[in-house]
Amino acid sequence: MQRLILKTENSSGVLRRVAGVLSRKGHNIHSFHSDPTPDSGFSTMEITIECDIGEAGMMKKQLLRLYGVFSVDLDSDA
């Protein structure tokens, strides 16, 4: 299990784009949590998926290409 921690724009469509990338790559979301940040206009998403660290690295690169995603961190202790 790998946890992806994303800082995103707090706007409609960002979650759809993130879920679309994971779906196209064949990954099922095991858990999802999102909170707004103190900085207005941003959200933090925590997504847990079942994959190895190499696949998680590829997901990070794919997610960083999306409009509205500003950073992606990996936590392999999920």
Q: CA 53 to CA 40: how far, in whole Å?
A: 32
76 pLDDT band, cuts 50/70/90, is confident
pTM of the model: 0.86
The conformation of residue 28, written as its DSSP 8-state character, comes to P
**pLDDT tens figures, 39-63:** 878 999 999 999 889 999 999 999 9
Q: Identify the domain containing residue 41 by its residue range.
A: 2-75
Q: CA 37 to CA 57: how far, in whole Å?
A: 24
Q: 77 pLDDT exceeds 70?
A: no
| CATH classification at residue 52 | 3.30.70.260
Structure tokens given for 61: 């690169």
27 pLDDT band, cuts 50/70/90, is confident
What's the total number of domains in the chain? 1
Residue 32: the pLDDT is: 94
Residue 78: the pLDDT is: 53
